[in-house]
Amino acid sequence: MADVWNALKRVQYECPCGQFSPLVNLYFCRHCLEMKCQECVFILPEYLFCPHCFDSAAGSDLKNKKYQCNHCFKCPSCATALSVQQYTKSEEDADKDGKASKAYYLTCLFCQWSSQDVGIPDGASPLDFKEPDESSKTRMEELVAHYKKMTLVDREEREKKRRAAKKMMKSWSSLLDPSPGSKLGSLASPGSSSEVKLDANAVSTVASSEVDSLPEHLYSSSLDINQVTTIEQRLAHPARQPESAKDLWPRPFPWTAKRLRRCGKCDHMICRAEYNPSSVRYKIQQIARSTVPQVKIKGLPEPKPDKAYTFVLSLVNPTSSVMTVSFEPVKEEGESALEATIPTGEFHISASDDVDVLDIAEDKSNLEPEQAKFLLGRGVGEIYLQFTTPAVHQGSENKVLFVMSYSWSVTERSSDSKMMKVTVCVDLGDFAAVPGQ
């Protein structure tokens, strides 16, 4: 899988903003007729849901649930989803009616962690597992209340400045107003709302040079490193930060979001998923891979000293209509770009669902001699073209840039086709052992 991703990254397309990205990371807006990278689209969360049980909630309930699921928990040791186990209590723990009651506990099927092993009491229902109250909860509530008051104070200051400016404008206008009583009316000021006062000692903290001493058991017994929590496990509980494995508590699953993407230029929706957490389908999916011909590198031969380097690129047609492509050099190439001999003229790529493949000899007979030497083969919705560079350099900056023009149509009718242009950058890789260099 890593090799496939590395091959995709070696061929990149230029976005109108000037940034190069692989084709799989680009979108295509059918209203602007432009490709869009990740920086040229607005990503907005559409709705939140639990990735484990696919439970969703409205916007008003998300804050009350602290943006996390109350039914699903993660293992504090390995972050795997915990399973709820049920058992029947003994006769001693029976109800008043004499019926045996059921109890529930959490266990991890991967690392065998259990809530019973760390002393967490069993729940009377499968949902009776809540995080304990933190010691810093009261402190956090005080801080939140204090900063809310600060927001009200800032708002009151802005209102005072606005009223003072308005009063000044009325006083100047009353001097120019010849009507009687205008000066008296200008002296009246609107009633001010009650001021919000801050308590200076509400969030005051006092620095102390005293440091808590180490626990006594560290001096009397040997340290079991398996019972010490890691940095990741402590930061998973920022309020408690447990140091021992027995103090770990199950973590609720955080809610995740399905996001929609809008074009940054025309604000039309480019990508939108179905309103169903368990579905992977899309209502709107305008990606560049379904519109722009995909350029692939079909093997790179070993370079030879003092000889031109020839490589083959394949162009894949993703649409269901015949596509016409042509090439032209880039006017302003970078310092690291190699000069290349690119194919001339126009080439036709059959539709992606076309089962009739034209014979290569018959295909070349319809082309000019200068154009036919670049065409090496043809497949279903795919052609193979030859590119040549004078030489390659030792290092990783062996890149070839060219402008590719292709026809695109909204429908299968040829009258609706439009010619689009995109700059393509092909990275030939690092030839560290080029003979003769």
**pLDDT band for position 41 (50/70/90)?**
very high
> Facing residues of 35 across strands?
28
According to DSSP, residue 156 is labeled H
Q: pLDDT tens digit string along 114-154? A: 888 877 888 777 777 776 666 677 777 788 888 888 888 88
Q: pLDDT tens digit string along 362-390? A: 566 666 777 778 888 888 888 888 888 88
Main-chain phi, psi angles of 203, to 5 degrees = -120, 20
Residue 192, pLDDT score: 45
* CA–CA–CA angle 187, 190, 193 (5° rounding): 140
- Given its phi and psi angles, is residue 282 left (phi above 0), alpha (psi -120 to 50 degrees) or beta? beta
Rounded to whole angstroms, the Cα distance separating 255 from 123 reads 23
Q: pLDDT tens digit string along 191-229? A: 444 555 666 566 666 777 888 787 787 788 887 888 888
Decide which of 81 and 124 is more confident: 81
**In this structure, what token pair is assigned to residue 327?**
């090439």
Rounded mean pLDDT of 80-90? 84
Residue 204, pLDDT score: 66
Q: Which of 92-96, 206-210, 308-312, 363-367 has the highest mean pLDDT?
A: 308-312
Q: pLDDT tens digit string along 168-185? A: 777 666 655 555 554 444
Q: What percent of the chain has pLDDT over 70?
A: 78
Residue 186, pLDDT score: 46
Residue 189, pLDDT score: 44
Rounded to whole angstroms, the Cα distance separating 227 from 249 reads 14
**Residue located via tokens 């209203």:** 31
Residue 118, pLDDT score: 79
Rounded mean pLDDT of 238-257? 84
Is residue 322 predicted with pLDDT exceeding 70? yes
Rounded mean pLDDT of 381-407? 82
Rounded mean pLDDT of 310-314? 88
CB atoms within 10 A of CB 357: 14
Rounded mean pLDDT of 253-272? 89
Task: Give one DSSP letter per residue of 347-409, joined into a string.
Answer: EEE--TT---PPPHHHHHHTS-HHHHTTEEEEETTEEEEEEEES---SSS--EEEEEEEEEE-
**pLDDT band for position 13 (50/70/90)?**
very high
Residue 153, pLDDT score: 86
Rounded mean pLDDT of 327-333? 80
Where are the chain's structural domains?
2-50+256-290, 294-427
421 contacts 10 by C-beta, under 8 angstroms: no
**Of the candidates 209, 213, 210, 165, which has an alpha carbon nearest to the alpha carbon of residue 190?**
165
**pLDDT band for position 187 (50/70/90)?**
very low
Query: What is the overall mean pLDDT for the chain?
Result: 78
Residue 377, pLDDT score: 82
Residue 92, pLDDT score: 63
**Of the candidates 314, 339, 342, 317, which has an alpha carbon nearest to the alpha carbon of residue 327?**
342
Q: What percent of the chain has pLDDT over 90?
A: 3
Ranges 228-232, 305-309, 321-325: which has the least confidence: 305-309
What is the helix (H) or strand (E) element at residue 294, kind and residue range? Answer: strand 294-297
Residue 4, pLDDT score: 58
Classify domain 294-427 by CATH architecture: Sandwich (2.60)
312 contacts 385 by C-beta, under 8 angstroms: yes
- Contact partners, residue 174, CB within 8 Å, separation at least 6: 182, 183, 185, 186
Rounded mean pLDDT of 89-105? 68
Rounded to whole angstroms, the Cα distance separating 13 from 289 reads 11
Distances (CA, A) of 177 to 164, 181, 221, 272: 20, 10, 91, 60
